[in-house]
Amino acid sequence: MQSSQQITIDRPAASRAGGIPDRLPQRPTDLLLRWEVLLLIFLALVVLINVQLSPFFFDPYNLSDATFNFTEKAIVALPMTLLIIAGDIDLSVASIIALASTAMGAAAVAGASTAVLLVLGPLVGLACGILNGWLVTAFSVPAIIVTIGTMSLYRGICYIALGDQAYKNYPDGFDFFGQGYVFWVFSFEFCLFIVLAVIFGVVLHRTSFGRRVYAIGNNPTAALFSGIDVQRYRLVLFALVGLFSGLASVLLTSRLGSTRPNIATAWELEIITMVVLGGVNINGGSGTVPGVFIAAFVMGFLTFGMGLLNIPGIVMTVLIGFLLILAIALPVVIRKLTSARRRSA
Amino acid sequence: MATTPILKLSGISKSFPGVKALDGAQLELYPGEVTALVGENGAGKSTLVKIITGIYQPDAGEMQLDGKPLVLHSPEEAFAAGITAIYQETVLFDDLSVAENIFLGHEPRRARGTLIDWPAMYARTRELLAELEINLDPQTILKNLSIAQRHIVGIARALSIDARIVIMDEPTAALSRHEIEDLYGIVRGLTAAGKAILFITHKFDEIFAICQRYAVFRDGRFIGDGLIEDVDQDKLVSMMVGRNVAQIYPKRPVKLGEIVLEVDRLSHPTEFEDISFSLRKGEILGFYGLVGAGRSEVMQALFGITHPSRGSIRLEGRELSITSPRDAVRAGIVYVPEDRGKQGAILPLPIVENISLPQLDRISRRGFVDMAAEFVLARQYGERLQVKAASWSDPVDTLSGGNQQKVVIGKWLATQPKVIILDEPTKGIDIGAKAAVHDFTVELAEQGLAVIMVSSELPEVIGMADRIAVMHEGHIRHIFSREEATPEAIVTAATGATPAPISQAALHRAAFA
């Protein structure tokens, strides 16, 4: 088409005089009320409390330890962010982690090398994700129903394979991915998470792929009517979530050095809490990767601090639940406040 | 015949944002008589019904019941006043029984009103059904009934409250010939019992078969009423459509180019059959028909949303296989849907992202969106369509309906299509935006774009189109040239009142004129 030139000829730096501007200047209060900013303030608060609790909190090795309890979940939260923005959800991620881990354990027993395991884990995850996506798109079943089903299915296979046993014999060198450091106190896991977060942020906020994800999440019908292959996009997103669950499984299995069928139990809730706390609308359509990135640290440092206080796991679950409800309720309250303010202005 | 009306409306007006739905409307309903409410789509009939049944409150005007002022604040109050409506798609409850549907909200009670008196309810239901001479078990679940039987349940519901005024909104739309005869029998029975009936229909044969009076509306205004015996079909049609057509439309003669689109015997298992037409460069082809005639379904098949069972679509001589909107957009066919909010625009997203959405690939380099190019695109088409907004980054849902529609049209023009389909492009938008859309449509045709304009507004199709395809019940009845397109001829074809169907051969000739 000849039109591609037509689009690039006229490119004034700012809008023409009297014309409609590209953007309106932002008011400082709007910026302050951004979810990411509120999260940062909350994160500072959490860090402050941690410092009060332990004088060693800012010790680099201590901080590095603190990251281990959330990076694997945060890695799954990245593709989950895209999936939830697109209006779907995957509750089977923890079971995918378990199934991928079980597959790797069985392969290791059969004599597979570290390289084979590195390929196998993500591959099993990818297959699980594709199955989820296929079931959701081919039969028009809500994702929440399908993934509740596959959550039991994938976990059930682990129990059948393992019973009360565990796989423990992983090959030499496999432990690096969950326990090794790239340099100084920066673990392999943590560095991987940072790189992936940047990639996912760029994909969601800078590419046409990301644009279409937002379009689908806001209005799948209008997205279809705009020439977007909605079903294929949904399938790809489920596959991505599966793939990265498989990757998280490699990290977790490597870190623990063993696989039991109850591995990563209830992680799906923490992962989804992370995403929602990050400001992603659970109904789809809005949310950012930076928000989820900050939320990962909030959740990580919060549970780490509670660990220092010897708060029992069950109480932590209560607090995580409370956080999830807060994260869903607060944006609604803020929206009401700001719209009331705008009306009175 | 009765001389004093039960229900009398005068000076009723009702406005919605940007639209005056009713302007000084009046209506009289007489006991024991059927009054036909006649008018085009958008004449204000359904707004009037909603005012009589208490769903809407009028901005001005007065209603009188038996000569006493009547003010309705809710459907329940209308119900209590003895006014009930049976809608086109009966609003009943599929999973409840016949008896429950009839008595919902006013069930016979026992034990001081705490419990439903089921035996009494079933007995009353049997009585009502016997009155209507229909054999139905009161405990049958509604979803197991035919559409005709559901209508009868709706009527039984009307009788159960001893309604004096019964409104029937296109009750025969989904009924067979035989079932319609049964319905007529019931209607005659109701009038014999002294009830006043308001009968809304697009079918003239029905008006003359069972109505005693008529009232005609056009563009929200009352045009006239009287006794059926004093009018004929031509008189009603001319009252419906008026005479002042084609004066305010900006249509200018355009030299037509070569044929761009040829559709041959396109058919769908349930929605339409043997749709054939051609479209030239610079041409505006109007598609007129009543609601449900299958126009949008044909357009959505051209756009790959629904899938035709047979027939062919050729664009610039090449046969197309369109299985998704993506295929259609790539081929150069774009569709501005009727439902802006659900299908046209992604309301919460910025104007700029809506406009760039169909062609993200073209303004992206290796998948990365060139945001500067994106704003250029938005400005170029937004300004061309005179979109009014505070900034191009504003969400589309902050705009007025007319400006939202401009964004949707702009988004498709930016793809530089060969054929643009506008489905009810001016529905629900204000006069100013309407004129802008009309101007723009003409301008597009002048620039050589082929335009299909689906519209239920007769003046709009007559004022804008070079040719007009009229659909009725899934078929193209006729394709009128600009010269033969009189309002009367078009309405006659659209209501299926044509005396003899046009032969297939003639239709084919007209299609590829």
Token readout for A84 is 């939830």
The residue type of B398 is T
Phi, psi of B481 (to 5 degrees): -80, 170
pLDDT level of residue A195 (50, 70, 90 thresholds): very high
What burial letters (b/e) apply to A45-60, b meaning 16+ CB within 10 Å?
ebbebbeeeeeebeee
* Residues of chain A numbered 174-233 and touching chain B (CB < 8 Å): 206-209, 211-212, 214-215, 218-219, 221-229
Residue with tokens 């279809």: A224
Mean pLDDT of chain B: 86
Distance CA B287, CA B453 (A): 6
CATH, domain range B244-332+420-513: 3.40.50.300
pLDDT level of residue B431 (50, 70, 90 thresholds): low
Instruction: Say whether residue B368 is in contact with chain A using an 8 A CB cutoff.
Output: yes
Q: So what's the pLDDT on residue A325?
A: 86
Helix (H) or strand (E) holding A258: none
Does the global pTM surpass 0.80?
Answer: no
Contacts of B386 in chain A (CB under 8 A): none
Distance from CA of A60 to the nearest CA of B (A): 37
Q: So what's the pLDDT on residue B122?
A: 93
Token readout for A105 is 């354990």
Instruction: Say whether residue A140 is in contact with chain B using an 8 A CB cutoff.
Output: no
pLDDT digits (tens, 9 = 90+) for A13-31: 444 445 788 888 877 777 7
Residues 6+ away with beta carbon under 8 Å from B335: A225, B299, B300, B302, B303, B305, B325, B328, B412, B420, B421, B423
pLDDT digits (tens, 9 = 90+) for B489-498: 888 888 876 5
Residue boundaries of the structural domains of chain B: 7-241, 244-332+420-513, 342-416
Is the confidence at residue B443, as pLDDT, over 60?
yes
Q: So what's the pLDDT on residue A344?
A: 52
pLDDT digits (tens, 9 = 90+) for B6-22: 999 999 998 876 567 88
DSSP state letter for B72: -
ipTM of the modeled complex: 0.84
pLDDT level of residue A7 (50, 70, 90 thresholds): very low
**Mean pLDDT along residues A152-179:** 93
Residue B330, number of CB atoms within 10 A of its CB? 14
Helix (H, G, I), strand (E, B) or coil at A102: helix
Instruction: Say whether residue A286 is in contact with chain B using an 8 A CB cutoff.
Output: yes
Mean pLDDT of chain A: 88
pLDDT digits (tens, 9 = 90+) for A206-237: 999 999 999 999 999 999 999 999 999 999 99
Q: So what's the pLDDT on residue B180?
A: 80
Q: So what's the pLDDT on residue A5?
A: 35
Is the confidence at residue B249, as pLDDT, over 80?
no
The reply to whether B244-332+420-513 shares the fold of B7-241 is: yes
Choose the CATH number for B7-241 among 3.40.50.300, 3.10.20.30, 3.30.70.960, 1.10.10.10: 3.40.50.300
Q: So what's the pLDDT on residue B30?
A: 93
Is there a contact between B376 and A223 if contact means CB atoms under 8 Å apart? no
Question: Helices A93-109 & A114-138, crossing angle to 10 degrees?
Answer: 140
Q: So what's the pLDDT on residue B512?
A: 61
Distance CA A202, CA A55 (A): 37
Is the confidence at residue B173, as pLDDT, over 90?
no
Distance CA B149, CA B55 (A): 26
Is the confidence at residue B89, as pLDDT, over 50?
yes
Q: In chain A, what are the domains?
A: 62-334 (1.10.3470)
